Each structure stands twice: as C-alpha cells, then as structure tokens.
C-alpha cells in the first residue's frame, strides 16, 4: 500500500491542517511485517509509531503461568494505543505484540520523537491520542476476569491506563 492510501484511513490525517498532512506524508515510512512476526516484546523501547493500513496485531501479556492474555487487537485504520502511551510517557512496552496470522501487516511508521512533537504542536494529533486512550479504557472496563487472568491484574491494568490518560491530558493542555 502507498503512504497516502494508508493515511487516508485516519481521521487525524484527513481532517488535519495542511502542514500536519504534509509532514505526515513526508516523514512516514511504509513498513511491512509478515504474518506471525513479533512486533515488539515486553520491555522493549518504542522504535516506531504505526498507523496501520492493512493486517492486524494482537497485543498480549504473559500472565505468569506460561499463558498469554490477549489485551486487544489493532487493525486497519487504527494506531496502537500502547505504542502511543509509551511514546508520550517515555516508558518501555508493558506487553508484547504479534502480527495476526491472517496476513501481513502494512503500516506507515513514525519515529516516537516526531510523534511527540506533533502531539505537542497539533491539537488534532493530541485529540487522536486521547480518543485512542478513551476507546481502550472503555474496552478495559468491559473485560471480566477469566480463568487465565491473575487476581488483581485487570485492576492494575485499568489503573495504569487511567494514570497514562491523566498524564497525557495534563501535560498537553493548550
């Protein structure tokens, strides 16, 4: 897929001011990962902020008993909220992610520092980040503790996301 085709799936791109659209086109790198590939490991530093054009990603956490708990999926027309959160908060990934086995992942990627600059400079990018955080928070509050999820784990994850959302809202006020 071409950069413009991928980015056209994102409201933040289609409604952005001209200077942000031009910067996103100029600085974005089209990337591809094959199905089943590891996108990132727990503890890794964020290397790229993806805007997904096709394919999908499963974000998961090991629960300590050699089982994986799926946190969420990211697909075409979406960005990874964990990546954005790690970028904004300057922390490493608290989970891992793999490309779904249904096909390759194609996305436009940006260096985290560039994304941080855009979040600071453009209200549209800040809003994009905050909307993603909100959507994932709503998703997390709907998760029930199943047999694979350790006691207290979902609550800790919810508190972590609330803290990240508050930090982003407070540090990026206009």
Residue-by-residue DSSP string for 9-58? T-HHHHTS-HHHHHHHHHH-EEEEE-TT-EEE-TTPPP--EEEEEESEEE
Query: What confidence tens digit (pLDDT) does each residue in 88-130 have?
Result: 888 899 999 999 999 899 999 999 999 999 999 999 999 988 8
What average pLDDT does the segment 67-84 reach? 88
Contact 167, 129 (CB under 8 A): no
Q: Look at residue 61 in the predicted model and tell me its pLDDT.
A: 87
Contact 55, 105 (CB under 8 A): yes
Residues 84, 82: Cα–Cα separation, whole Å: 5
Question: In the predicted model, is pLDDT for residue 174 greater than 50?
Answer: no
Residue from 22, 114, 129 nearest 3 by CA: 22
Q: Look at residue 149 in the predicted model and tell me its pLDDT.
A: 55
Q: Are strands 49-54 and 38-40 parallel, antiparallel or unpaired?
A: unpaired
Tell me the pLDDT band of 160, cut-offs 50, 70 and 90: low
Question: In the predicted model, is pLDDT for residue 151 greater than 70?
Answer: no
Higher pLDDT: 144 or 42? It is 42
Q: Look at residue 161 in the predicted model and tell me its pLDDT.
A: 59
Residue from 116, 109, 99, 131 nearest 172 by CA: 116
- Is 0.85 topped by the overall pTM? no
Contact partners, residue 49, CB within 8 Å, separation at least 6: 79, 80, 83, 84, 87, 109, 110, 111, 112, 115
In this structure, of 9-13, 64-68, 167-171, the range with the lowest mean pLDDT score is 167-171
Question: In the predicted model, is pLDDT for residue 75 greater than 70?
Answer: yes
């Amino acid at each position: 897929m071409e950069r413009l085709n991928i980015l056209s799936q994102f409201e933040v791109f289609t409604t952005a001011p001209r200077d942000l659209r031009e910067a996103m086109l100029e600085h974005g790198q089209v990337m591809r990962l094959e199905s089943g590939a590891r996108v990132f490991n727990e503890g890794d530093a964020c290397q790229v902020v993806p805007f997904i054009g096709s394919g999908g990603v499963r974000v998961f956490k090991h629960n300590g008993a050699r089982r994986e708990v799926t946190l969420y999926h990211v697909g075409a027309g979406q960005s990874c909220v964990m990546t954005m959160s790690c970028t904004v908060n300057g922390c490493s990934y608290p989970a891992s992610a793999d490309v779904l086995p249904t096909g390759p992942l194609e996305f436009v990627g940006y260096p985290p520092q560039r994304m941080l600059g855009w979040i600071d400079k453009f209200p549209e990018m800040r809003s994009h980040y905050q909307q993603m955080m909100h959507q994932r928070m709503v998703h997390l509050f709907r998760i029930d503790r199943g047999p694979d999820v350790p006691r207290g784990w979902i609550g800790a994850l919810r508190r972590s996301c609330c803290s990240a959302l508050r930090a982003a809202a407070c540090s990026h006020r206009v």
